[in-house]
Structures are given as C-alpha cells and as structure tokens.
Structure 1
Amino acid sequence: MDIFASLTAKIKGKEPTIVFPEGTEPRILTAALRLADEQLVRPLLLGDEQAVKAAAATAGLKWNDAVTVINPQTYPEEKYAAMVEAFVDRRKGKNTAEDAEKMLRDENYFGTMLVYMGLAAGLVSGAVHPTGDTVRPALQIIKTKPGVHRTSGAFIMTRNGGDERYVFADCAININPDAPTLAEIAQESIKTARLFDIDPRVAMLSFSTKGSAKSDEVTKVTEATRMAQEQAPDEQIDGELQFDAAFVPTVATQKAPDSAVAGYATVFVFPELEAGNIGYKIAQRFGGFEAIGPVLQGLNKPVSDLSRGCNAEDVYKVAIITAAQAVATD
C-alpha cells in the first residue's frame, strides 16, 4: 500500500484536530482546506478570522466551515487566563505570569499550548517560521516522553511508489549525540518505523564494522548499540556497522556474517548530525528517494516542523503524518 494511503487509513474517521499557527499562509490554507474537504483532520488555523478568510479567497480557495479560526490576540479573557496559568505551572518558575501574557500572544507558543491543554492533537508549523520557532515551544511546553531526554528528527526515505521505505535518524536535531542519546534515537526510530508500516531492523552506523577500526567515535556507537539492545532485547538492533554492511547482503556476509540485521537493515541510526544530514540528502538526490520529514521523535504529543521551502502538498503530507502520530499515541 502507498505510504500515505496507509497513513490516511489510520486516521480516517478519527479526524484529530491539528493546529496550524500560520493561518494566512496560502500553502497552509490550501492544505488545511483540502484536509477538511477530505474529512481527514479538523484544521484549526491561528490568525484574524477576516484576514484568514480573505487570504483564502485571494488564493482562489473555497472556504469550508469545518475549519476553525482562533485569533490569539483576541482569545476570550477567561480562557486566556487559564492558558497563562497552565503555562506558568508547566514552566515551573522559569517564566512569570507577565512573561506568559506576552509569550502566548505568539502564534507558535499559543498553538503549542492548545496541544498541551488537549484542545488540539498536534501542531504543524514552519512554512514561514524558522525551525527554532516551532521546536522551542514544543521542548518548553510539551516536552519529551518519560525516559526520553532528547527529541530527534527522522526522515522516511521512500522510493518506487513506497515499495522501498526506510528510516534515517537523527538527521535534523542533535549535532553530536552521546551513546545514551543514540540509544534513545534507536528506540524512538523503531516506533516511527512501525507508524509507517516498516518492519524495524536497526543498524547503528559507523565508519567501522564490528571492530574493523578503533577510535572514540567507534566506541560511542558500540556502547550505544549495547545500551539499545539492553533496553529493547526483543528488537533487532546491531552495530557498529558501515552502511554497505548494513544494506547490502553480499557485503554483510563478508563483514558481519553473524548479524541478523546486516544486509537487511530498515532503520539507520547515524552517529552524528553531519553524517545523517548529508546521508539523507545523498539518498534523495543521487538515489531518487523521496525524503519525508523531519518527523520529530520523542515528544509527548506530535509537533511537526515544515521547511520554509515547502509547497502545499508537503504541508498536506506532514499534517497527515502528525495526525497519524496523534492517533497512534491516543
């Protein structure tokens, strides 16, 4: 089944509410109205209602009354006071009520609080804002799941109509993760793989395979592999593996003949961000893979960051992923 047909089937009939802070952006409006028309999600747009509807009309879009618009600047006083109180409590003394009054007028902070308070199931932003404006409120308010210390960013790499699909992580967030963080990334990437109907076989990548090289960088990956295996003894996780040993069966028989993962990996955990970011872009540009993401992993509730170069189709797909994450964690 096509990857998005599979995700759509997971959310059809559930229609989780997804908040879009960039309510007047034409790409957001195009995707949100399409999602509403197809009854996949209930879009909640932030902004002045008149301005939002005018932007939709200018873009030649037909309005759907299933779309809700909320203006953070004119949110009812009683509801806003409750939001301020919840924010101050969540920040545990790091921000005063006066700080909160100002911060929550920002659409990304306001939208993230809607998710935290259960008024929306997930958030999609970043068509206009840089990554930090989306991720920072998520880390401060929604925070990571119990036992997870860092969020990470995975890409779903797909080709041939979805017949080939893999997870690459972390390609977006952690610059130089230590061994415990790599182990966490492996665990969260397994969950992401299953969301996309990928049977997870995890390769902890390095420039060394099973001790073929010695360095602190290799030791980090072997330690991360040991930790990940101890944390999830029923999962298929192995390392350290070079990419060819992880991916090519004939190479695997030479370099890692005793590995159940080598040659057949579907989840690739990169040792640091530089390798992951370069790796997914090489697969995308040289290998003809579509890179879907980044899918933010490890958060209590789903928040998705768009590229500012995205188009309406990208927004539509990321919203479906976010909705599927929300449904999976219900």
Structure 2
Amino acid sequence: MKRNIMLIPVSKNINLTIISLGLINFFEELNHSVLFFKPFYELHNCYDVLDDTSLILKKYFSTSFINSHHINKKFFLLEKFKNKYLLENSIDLFLKNKIYYDILLIEGVNNNSHNFLINDLNLDLSYHLKSDLIFVFSHDDYKNIIFFLKKIKNFNISNNFLGIIINNTFLNFQDIYINRVSKHIKSQCIDNIPIIADIRYNCDVLFYPISKILTLLKVHKILKINFNVNVVKLFLFYDNLIFDYEYNYSHSILIISYDIFVHKFIHILKRKLNFFNFYAIILFNVKDCHTLQYGFLKDIKKFNISFFYTLLDINIIKLIINRCHINILKYNQNQLKKLSNYISNCLNEKYIISHTKCNKKKYFSHLSSFSFLYNLKKYAKKLNKCILLPEGNELRIIQSAAIANELGIARCVLLGNVDEIHQIALSNNIILSKNINIINPKNIYFNYVHKLVQLRYKKGMTFELAKSIVYHSNIILGSLMLHVGEIDGIVCGVRYTSIDVLKSALQIIGVNKKKNVSLVSSIFFMLLKNHVLVYGDCSVNINPNFQQLSEIAIQSADLSKKFGIEPRIAMLSYSTGLSGQGESVEKVRQATILIKKNRPDLVVDGPIQYDASVNEFISSIKSPSSPLLGQATVLIFPDLNSGNITYKAIQQSLGVYSIGPILQGLNKPVNDLSRGASIDDIVYTIAVTAIQSDQE
C-alpha cells in the first residue's frame, strides 16, 4: 500500500502541525509506515533549521521525514513563474527520498495573506505528487468553508478529494458557538462532502499559561485585579460570542475591539454584572493609552475584572494564540503525545480507512504536464547525448543551444559559419559555452561525399552531384553525420521545410526495419493543464489505410510509454462503436481489430468519438463497455486533415503547449520543427530527440 495525502490549509492562522501529528499517530497505530513531507518551509529567523512538525518528529518520534525547501517569506509575493521553481525543487526533494512508506503525509503552505499564488502552489503540488486532498478550516471561518465547499465540484481535483477537517484545537471558542457553526456547515454542505474531523478545544489536554500569553500579546495594563488563576481555559472573541448564562467564565479572557466595548458591550456588562466573571478583557484597536476615555476608566473599576489593551490587530492576536501552544509543546513530549492521541481519536476512523485503501478507484492516473517536462529534462540530462542543429546561424537555434547546454540536457553541435554565429550571440547577449561545438560545414563536407554516393548509388548518385548536394545542404550533411554515428540525433526545421527534413531522413537514415516498420509517422505531445495527451499522426501521413493506421497507433503507443505515458489508445472517428457506417468508419474499425490482434497487450478502443475517449461521464453514456473509461492518453486521428486541424485548433484556441512533430519509425532520431517554433519548443525537442536516441 502506498498513499499520498496532502493537508491544504484554507483558513488563515491554521496550525497544521498538530493535525499532522494526529494523522501520523492515527496511521502508525494501524501499523502503517508514515513519511512526512513539508515541501516549503517559510523561514521565520536564521535559527530555524526545520519546520515545527519535522522538528517535533526528529526530537520525540521515530517517524521519517523529508527535509523542507527553505524559502523567504517575501518569495511568496513574487510573480507566478516562481511557482515553477518551487515545484521543481519540491519534486526533486521527494524523488531523492529513498525511504519506504505506506503513507506520505504532505503539509501544505499556510496562506495567511490570502495570496492566490500560494493556493495555486498547494493545488499544483498535490496534483504532481498525485495526492489525496484534505482541506483544513477553522470554526471562525465558516463562511469561507461554505463558499469553498460549493465550489469544490468545479475543481479538477474532485476524484482525489477526501474531505475536510475543521480545526479548533488552539483557538478555543465556546461549545455553544461551535455547535451552531458545525450545524450550519453541515446543513450547507454539498452531498457527499465528508467532514473527516470536527476538532474541539479540550481544556483537559491544552491550557494557556496566563503570564506567557499576556507577554506574547504585548499587552499593557489598564486595570489589574489579582486572582488565583494561572491558566486560561477559554478565549472569547466578541465577533463569535454567544451568551450562555449557565457557563462559568472565571478562566476566560474576552478579546474585543475598544470601540465595540465602549459603545456596546460595556452596557451589557453593567446590566449583567453578576453573570460575567471573566479573568480579563483585552482590548484591541486601541491606538495608544491616551485613547482611553476618563469615563471608561471610572466604569471598569466596578466590574472586578482585569483590563489590558494591545496594539496588535485581531489576526495577529489569533496567530499568536495559535502558535503559542505549539511553541510550548515543542519542549513537552508527554503533552505532545497526549494531544496527538486526542486529535487521532477525533478522526473519522471508518471513513479514512475505507478511503485510503490502495486501488480504491478503477480510475487511471494521468501523468501531469509539469511532471512530463520535469522527467523529460532529467532523463535527457542523464543521457548526455550529442544533438546536431544544422541551422546554426539562426538566432532561435543559437539561443536554444545555449539553454540546452545550461540545463545539461544535451551536448549541442551547431553547423554554420563560426564567426557569424559568435557575432549573433554577442549581439543578443547570448553566452556560448565552450561545450557547444560549432562546426563550419565547408571545412568537413568533403569527408561525407563518398558516403552519400555509396548510399544513393542505385538511385543514380554521382560523385560530383553528391559533392554539390553535401556542400549546399546542412540537413544532408547532418543526416550523413548521424548515419555514421558521429552524433546521436538531429533537430531542425526553422528554415528547412518539413519535406526537406523528412526526405533527407528517409533517404539517408531510413526506416527501422529491425522493428518491422513500414512507414514513418509523427506524434505531438499536447501538454494540457493537468495531463499530457499524445496525438498521432498530425503531420506526415495524409490518408493512411487501416494497416498503416494500426502501425501508427502501435508506434505512438510504444513511444509514449518510453516517455512515461501509459498508452491507452483511442482510434478516433465521427462515430462511437456501431453507431456509424461508411468507408472512413470501417477503416478505423479494421485498424482497431488489427491492433488487438498484433498487440493484445495494449488497451485500445475504436471507432470512438473524441469526447467519449477523454470524458468519463460521456464515456459512461456513449460507450459504457469501453476499456478506456474516458481516460485515453494516445489519440489516433483517421487522417492528416482531422489530426492537423485538431492539434492546431486546441493549441491556438486554448493556449495549450505542444511538443512536436516528433518523427517515429526512423533508424535514428531526426525531428522537424515548425518554422514558427519558440525557444521552448526547440529546447524540449532537443530533449525528446536525446531520449529517442537512447531508445532506437
């Protein structure tokens, strides 16, 4: 059993440490090994080495944990692209971990500033780590809970949503208030939204030393009455206060704004003087002691209650109270274990066990686009292949070679005039490393003339003709270099046409006859927001017959698998199953039959419409017996017309990033670029080509 669970704080001032400790205790009592991971740790001072949870686990428990990635608080205020950096570092930390575990418990980042980038970061990380989600709220944030729950069905995370935890461990409100809030939440909850735990403050487990809390809140004395009280059992926040005339408030502190107290609550106190026996009242929103009115000072002496004021705002007050106990608990092992046991007992044991079993769903898990790109770069970097860029004098090619070298994904070779390439780089502030090999084709072309004559002799190739062709065509020269094994792959196409690239590849590299390949085809990796789809063939074969279509599908499935995408093949048509007839539908049907015959190991269905192949609900209606279950990853179009239009429509209309066309079926990898290819397109195509060269 392996299960990833992520706690995502939604309310402000949520202390996840004690929730994490409670869940760890819960699973370990069930004999599950737990690994804790706090991906990002916000540094509070230079002495912080570990986050609170990891520090406690290291000091008092045997639970394993992964060290956090330390970040400065200001980092979260930076632009959105920084999320990519954080995600990469977090995934790196996770993948480097070699510890065996049953449960990976991930603690998300607190979003006390309601920064939408932090919310995105938490959700993105949960998706890339394929985690089940538990959202954590506090009782005083019940309006946000209801709003959030009503939006939950709009998230793409619904299949991984376990439920919510309402945490009132530290910010202790009255039971009468909490019961009312909990009842309201449950009445507003969408069906099947489970509350995993509704945790209440327990004064038998927790208490606040008065001297400690008053110091942390930086209070100033207005009037102090000496009582024999050492601990606070209840904090009352006036905005949540519900009067309970049977409750004993002797160990309570009321926190209320100065204006509300003076204009409203003081009159209630006068009428119910014998009822309220607070230990103290702390006023906030007091600018300074001169704000306090003379009449106010005279009135409060009658109440026999200690009065203090603080210059802190209400959110800071709650945060301090929230963190106060965890800071105290860091040094009290017995209290920590007592509290983690209490939290563990609050959890809905039956629900958690039933929903954290391995393979609880039959759903297939997609590879996310971020994970795909991350793995792509990592794999290419490990291979360290030599990739030739024949259009070496093109600015985009020079920029891409510099980036690819910096990332370490390939050893790039540029074909072109050496002085011209260096001048272009200098003019555009591009640093060309010495690791980038720049070759003037005029200096080496003659070495390959005889090879071209040898390869094309039966087609009438002469020495003089070959000499002229190799001299004038970098793509032919590059293909010859690839043929003799001096390089590992070729990427070009920003100046050469697709016909030029494909023609040279077929004439010099040839198809892979060892794998019984009869044609060259292509795929595109379509990087949607949360997953990657493979489209084929969208750039080479105009109108393949059913044998060719089946071969394209098998090639696409095999290549997809080698890039970490589990192939689930949809043979696309305008109809699903037996609902349509005609030559084009029959071609797809026969191709599907042939795939099942030749490769029974592949999951394939067809003819099937696009919507039924990628949407679970539509699949359940149109094709309930389909093995794809609306979870196709490899989509094969019946002809070039439909494939090319579809990939460009999705790419341009939805802003979907794509890598391709990636040629498949050749003896060695040669990949064609769009003449409008961006720098990213070229860099990722270099990485793909490097990986292909290891697999051919």
Question: Is the TM-score greater than 0.5?
Answer: yes
The alignment of Structure 1 onto Structure 2 pairs a total of residues equal to 323
User: Structure 2 residue aligned with 1:14, among 383, 386, 402?
Assistant: 383
User: Structure 2 residue aligned with 1:191, among 558, 578, 581?
Assistant: 558
1:262–1:272: structure 2 CA closer, same or farther, 3 Å change rule?
farther
1:271 is aligned to 638
- Matches of residues 95-114 of structure 1 in structure 2 within 5 Å? 95-105=461-471, 106-114=473-481
Give, in whole Å, the separation in 2 of the partners of 1:203 and 1:302: 25
Give, in whole Å, the separation in 2 of the partners of 1:141 and 1:306: 19
Moved over 6 A (4+): none
Which one has the largest radius of gyration?
A: 2
1:227–1:20: structure 2 CA closer, same or farther, 3 Å change rule?
same
Q: Is the 8 A contact 2:381 2:409 kept in 1?
A: yes
- Matches of residues 131-146 of structure 1 in structure 2 within 5 Å? 131-146=498-513
1:291–1:38: structure 2 CA closer, same or farther, 3 Å change rule?
closer
Structure 1: which 5+ runs fail to align? none
What letter is aligned with 1:109? I
Q: Which has the higher contact order (CA 8 A, sep 6+)?
A: 1
SS in 2 for 1:316: helix
Q: Is the 8 A contact 1:15 1:42 kept in 2?
A: yes
1:128–1:76: structure 2 CA closer, same or farther, 3 Å change rule?
closer
1:289 aligns with 2:670: no
2:548 is aligned to 181
Q: Is the 8 A contact 1:238 1:262 kept in 2?
A: no
Residue 327 of structure 1 and its aligned partner are, at CA, apart by 2.3
Give, in whole Å, the separation in 1 of the partners of 2:618 and 2:415: 52
1:93 aligns with 2:458: yes
- Matches of residues 229-268 of structure 1 in structure 2 within 5 Å? 229-268=596-635
What letter is aligned with 1:278? I
- Matches of residues 19-168 of structure 1 in structure 2 within 5 Å? 19-75=388-444, 77=446, 80=447, 83-94=448-459, 95-105=461-471, 106-146=473-513, 147-160=516-529, 163-168=530-535
1:264–1:52: structure 2 CA closer, same or farther, 3 Å change rule?
same
Give, in whole Å, the separation in 2 of the partners of 1:76 and 1:104: 6
Q: Is the 8 A contact 1:10 1:327 kept in 2?
A: no
What letter is aligned with 2:456? R
What letter is aligned with 1:93? K
Calculate the aligned-residue CA RMSD, in Å: 1.6
Question: How big is each residue's C-alpha offset from its partner over 1:276-300, in whole Å with a ceiling of 9 and x where there is no partner?
Answer: 0111123223444222211111111
Residue 9 of structure 1 and its aligned partner are, at CA, apart by 1.3
Give, in whole Å, the separation in 1 of the partners of 2:558 and 2:462: 36
Give, in whole Å, the separation in 1 of the partners of 2:491 and 2:499: 13
What letter is aligned with 1:248? N
1:298 aligns with 2:298: no
Question: How big is each residue's C-alpha offset from its partner over 1:264-284, in whole Å with a ceiling of 9 and x where there is no partner?
Answer: 111100000111011112322
What letter is aligned with 2:686? A
SS in 2 for 1:12: helix
Give, in whole Å, the separation in 1 of the partners of 2:658 and 2:382: 27
What letter is aligned with 2:463? A
Give, in whole Å, the separation in 1 of the partners of 2:555 and 2:528: 23
What letter is aligned with 1:298? G
SS in 2 for 1:149: coil
Q: Is the 8 A contact 2:383 2:690 kept in 1?
A: no
TM norm structure 1: 0.93
Identity, % of aligned pairs? 35
Question: How big is each residue's C-alpha offset from its partner over 1:167-195, in whole Å with a ceiling of 9 and x where there is no partner?
Answer: 01111111111111111110111122123
Q: Is the 8 A contact 1:24 1:56 kept in 2?
A: no
Give, in whole Å, the separation in 1 of the partners of 2:467 and 2:547: 37
Q: Is the 8 A contact 1:152 1:296 kept in 2?
A: yes
Give, in whole Å, the separation in 2 of the partners of 1:52 and 1:211: 58
SS in 1 for 2:435: coil
